[in-house]
Copies of this chain bind each other. A is one copy, B any other.
Amino acid sequence: MDTDRSADDLAVLPPITRRTLHAEVASRMRDLIIEGRLTPGARINEGLIGAQLGVSRTPLREAIKTLVSEGLVEIVPAKGAMVRVFSEEDVAQTLEALKIIEQNAGRLACQRASAADLARIQALHEQMLVMYENRQRLDYFKLNQAIHSAIVAASGNAILAELHTTLQARIKRARFVGNGEPEKWAGAVAEHIEMAQALARRDDEALAEVLGRHMDASFARVRYLFSAER
Q: Which residues of B contact A94 (CB under 8 A)?
A: 159
Among candidates B19, B58, B77, B93, residue contacting A159 with C-beta atoms closer than 8 Å = B93
Q: Is the Cβ of B62 less than 8 Å from the Cβ of A157?
A: no
Q: Is A69 an interface residue (CB 8 A)?
A: yes
> Could you tell me the distance between the alpha carbons of A11 and B163 in the complex, rounded to whole angstroms?
38
Determine chain A's interface SS by DSSP, over half rule: helix
Specify which of A18, A97, A157, A167 lies most central, judged by the most chain B CB atoms within 10 Å of its CB: A97
Copies of the polypeptide in the assembly: 2
Q: B62 contacts A97, CB within 8 Å?
A: no
CA distance A22 to B77 in the complex (A): 11
Q: Is the CB of B69 within 8 A of A157?
A: no
Name, among A22, A58, A65, A75, the residue most crowded by chain B CB atoms within 10 Å (CB to CB). A65
A46 within 8 A of B: no
A165 at the binding interface (Cβ < 8 Å): no
Complex: how many Å from CA A68 to CA B63?
11
The answer, yes or no, to whether A61 is at the interface (CB within 8 Å) is yes
A88 at the interface (CB under 8 A from B): no
A129 at interface by CB-CB < 8 Å = no
A-B pairs with the 8 shortest C-beta distances?
A69-B69, A97-B159, A65-B65, A18-B77, A100-B104, A93-B159, A93-B157, A62-B65
21 A-B contact pairs sorted by A residue (CB < 8 Å): A18-B77, A18-B78, A20-B75, A22-B65, A62-B65, A65-B66, A66-B66, A66-B68, A69-B69, A69-B70, A71-B162, A90-B159, A93-B157, A93-B159, A96-B157, A96-B159, A96-B160, A97-B157, A97-B163, A100-B100, A163-B163
